[in-house]
Chains A and B, each alone.
Chain A
């Protein structure tokens, strides 16, 4: 079983719609959860971090964490063509800062 699994893509959504990305993790000791966005040919860019159960909103992005279910998600509201990228879920234990990444979900927003 992979440490971090993301829903398989690619995910295609129309402009203005909600894109929903899912991620599950296997290590119950995980304490920190991150979503990175990676444009083609670029390095990962942090868009959200979440540490507590519940929702965290930042602009058009909402991260949701459920530690009991070992599940973290990212919602992108009012999707724009500029949101077209690969989204990487990353998970870390609290004591060593090492990130385990999922395989990524590629999102395409259709104009």
Chain B
């Protein structure tokens, strides 16, 4: 399976600011996703990061709050904008290959908003 890294691994931010999270894969992958895991909760899909086009967002998530970029097949970013304490979560990227539905997760970014 691909080796996935995320930066930063954790951060503490002030409300009203924005944080950009990076996801880097050591090989080209067709599918990249961003998930959120709120404290004590399971994972919720935020969006599918599409290479060369706008991300596809799930219900309840909007581009203005969570802008996503995917400039190539190995890299994606998720920005959490105008943060509030409710955005305190673990943010995870995952990858998959077309035709192989198994998803593998990165180590996650632990975000605390004060």
A interface residues (Cβ-Cβ under 8 A, vs B): 32, 34, 36, 42-46, 49, 88, 92, 94, 96-104
Cβ-closest 10 pairs across A and B = A43-B105, A101-B42, A101-B43, A43-B108, A32-B101, A103-B42, A44-B105, A43-B107, A104-B42, A97-B96
Give complex CA distance A46, B108 in Å.
Answer: 15
* B104 close to A99 (CB less than 8 A): no
Can you pick out 14 interface pairs between chain A and chain B where the beta carbons lie within 8 Å of each other?
A34-B102, A43-B90, A43-B105, A44-B105, A88-B42, A97-B96, A97-B101, A98-B45, A98-B58, A99-B45, A100-B45, A102-B42, A103-B41, A104-B42
Check: B111 CB closer than 8 A to any chain A CB.
Answer: no
* In the complex, chain B residues whose CB is within 8 Å of the CB of A103: 41-42
Chain B: residues with CB nearer than 8 A to chain A?
31, 33, 41-45, 48, 58, 90, 92, 94, 96, 101-108
Determine if B104 and A46 form an interchain contact, defined as CB atoms under 8 angstroms apart: yes
A103 to B92 CA separation, bound complex (whole angstroms):
16
- Which residue of the partner chain B has the closest CB to A86? B42
Question: In the assembled complex, how far is the CB of residue B55 from the closest CB belonging to chain A, in whole angstroms?
Answer: 13
Extra contacts, 7 of them, besides A97-B96, A97-B103 (Cβ < 8 A), are: A43-B105, A44-B92, A45-B105, A49-B101, A96-B48, A100-B45, A103-B42
